Amino acid sequence: MLSIPFNKPHLTGKEAHYMYQAVYNGKLSGNGEFTKRCQHFFEERYGFKKCLLTTSGTDALEMCAMLCDLKPGDEVIVPSYTFVSTALAFLREGAKVVFADSMKRNPNLDAETLEALITPRTKVIVPVHYAGVACDMDAIMSIAEKHNLLVVEDAAQAIDSYWKPLPTSPQGEEKKPLGTIGHLAAFSFHETKNITAGGEGGLLIVNDERFVRRAEIIWEKGTNRAEFFRGEVNKYGWVDMGSSFLPAEINAAFLWAQLENLDEIQAKRKQLWNRYYELLKPLADKGYFTLPDIPDYATNNAHMFYLILPDLEKRTALIKYLKDNGVLAVFHYLSLHSSAYYADKHDGRMLPECDRYADTLVRLPMYYDLETDQVNEICRLILRHYEH
C-alpha cells in the first residue's frame, strides 16, 4: 500500500555541514556570516532594497505592521482566506482588520471589490499571493496610490515567483519578483515552503527607503546595535520599539544550503506540478473539479497543487478515499471572518468566495522528494475514485 505524506522537508546534503561551520565560527546569535550571505543573495537575485532574516514569516509580518505605524482605529484590508498570521500581525498593533473576499477564479484577494472597502480610516492593504501566484498588483497598487495607502505583500508562499506585465501594460515594463512591488513584504521559510531555514524562518523585505533604518532597529530589539557593529555610532542603546526577530545563525546556515540549490529545487517542483496538471486535466474537463488558475500576469513557483471540488461533501469523499489508499491530501484555511475569535468582530458582510474555498479546496502532496511515479499513482487513484 502507498504511504505518501502531504509534505516532506527536503535536505540538500549541505545543511549539517554549514550548521557545523556556523557553530565553530563562534557566532551563534544571528547577523553573522550566514545571515549576511542569505540577505545578500535575496537583494542581488531579486532586487529587494533591504532584506532582514526573521525567525518566522509571522515575525516578518509583525515587523511590517510595526513599520506601518498604525494608530487605534486605523483599518487594514486583509483577505479572509489566509493564514491567521496575516491578520494577527495588524491586530496586535491595535488596528481594525477589514476582511476582503477572494476572486472567483482563484483564492487571491479580489481587487475589483477592494475600493468599496476603503474608508478615511484605511491605512494598509495586505494582498496575499496564494499558492505563490501573484495578486492583481497593477490594480492593487493603483488603488493604493490613489488613496495614499501602504501595501504589504504577504508573500509567504511566493518565493521565486513573479508578476508579469500584460500586453496593455506600459511599454518596456518588465516582470517583477513578488515582494518587490509593495512598500513592504514578508516571506516564510517554514518547512512546508519551497525552501526552509530548518523548520521555521522568514524574511522581511523593505522596498521603501523611509522604513529601512527603523526596520533594522525593530529587528534588533529596538536598539541601534546594527549601526554600532558597522561603526556608524560609538555606542548603542534603546531607541524605539522592537522585539527578538533576528534568527539564530544556525538557521541562516541551514537556509544557505537551500538557497545554493534553489534553481534545482524549483525545477523539480515545477516538473511535478506540470505532471499533476497534465494527468488531471481530462477529469477537470469533465467537470469533476477545477484545476489551479494562473492568470496571465502571474508565474507559477509550484508551491502548491490544489483542486477545487464542487462542494464540501465531494471534497470530504476524495480526501477520505486518498487517505484510505495511503495518500495524505488536506484542505486549507477556514475563512477568518467566521472564525471563533473574530466572528463577533466582523461587520457582517458575506464573503462567499472565501467560504467556498474553505469548503472545497483540497491540496495534493507537493514536495521536492516526491517522485514522478508517485504523482502518477496519486492521479491514478483520483481517476479510479471518479470512475467509481
Secondary structure in 3-state letters for the chain: CCCECCCCCCCCCCHHHHHHHHHHCCCCCCCCHHHHHHHHHHHHHHCCCEEEEECCHHHHHHHHHHHCCCCCCCEEEEECCCCHHHHHHHHCCCCEEEEECECCCCCCECHHHCHHHCCCCEEEECCECHHHCCCCHHHHHHHHHHHCCEEEEECCCCCCCEECCCCCCCCCCCCEECCCCCCEEEEECCCCCCCCCCCCCEEEEECCHHHHHHHHHHHECCECHHHHHCCCCCCCCECCCCCECCCCHHHHHHHHHHHCCHHHHHHHHHHHHHHHHHHHHHHHHCCCCECCCCCCCECCCCCCEEEECCCHHHHHHHHHHHHHCCECCECCCCCHHHCCCCCCCCCCCCCHHHHHHHHHEEEECCCCCCCHHHHHHHHHHHHHHHHC
Q: pLDDT tens digits, residue range 145-174?
A: 999 999 999 999 999 999 998 777 777 788
In a domain, 1, yes or no: no
According to the model, what pLDDT value does residue 81 have? 98
Boundary of a domain, candidates 238, 259, 280: 259
Percent of the chain past pLDDT 70, that is, above it, reads: 100
Give CA–CA dist 310/333, Å, rounded. 17
**266 and 252 in one domain?**
no
Residue found by looking up cell 550548521 in the block = 19
C-alpha cell at 341: 475569535
Res 266 pLDDT > 80: yes
- How many structural domains is the chain composed of? 2
The reply to whether 267 and 177 lie within a common domain is no
Residue 174, classified by CB atoms within 10 Å of its CB into exposed (0-12), middle (13-18) or buried (19+), is: exposed
**What's the whole-number mean pLDDT along residues 133-138?**
97
Tens of pLDDT, residue by residue over 176-187, are: 999 999 999 999
Q: What is the mean pLDDT of the chain?
A: 96
Please state, in angstroms and as integers, the Cα–Cα distance from residue 206 to each residue in 67, 76, 177, 374, following that order.
10, 19, 13, 40
Question: Are residues 80 and 229 both part of a single domain?
Answer: yes
Assign 39 a pLDDT band (cuts: 50, 70, 90). very high
* pLDDT the model gives residue 388: 80
Confirm whether 379 is domain-assigned: yes
What is the per-residue pLDDT across 2-33, written as a single tens digit (0 to 9) for each? Answer: 899 999 999 999 999 999 999 998 888 889 99
In a domain, 8, yes or no: no
pLDDT given at position 171:
72
Residue 335 counted as domain residue: yes
Judged on CB neighbours under 10 Å (0-12, 13-18, 19+), 130 is: buried
Residue pointed to by grid coordinates 529587528: 219
* Residue finishing a domain among 259, 289, 318: 259
- The verdict on 235 and 372 lying in the same domain is no
Q: Quick check: is 139 in a domain?
A: yes
CATH number (domain holding residue 66): 3.40.640.10
- The CATH number covering residue 292 comes to 3.90.1150.10
Final residue before a domain boundary, out of 259, 274, 290: 259
> Distance of CA 268 to CAs 37, 62, 114, 264, 273, Å?
24, 32, 36, 6, 9
Cα separation, 59 vs 387, whole angstroms: 46
Q: Is 288 in the same domain as 252?
A: no
Q: Is 203 a residue whose pLDDT tops 80?
A: yes
Show the domain range for 326.
262-387
pLDDT(370) > 90: yes
Pairing between strand 202-206 and 96-100? unpaired
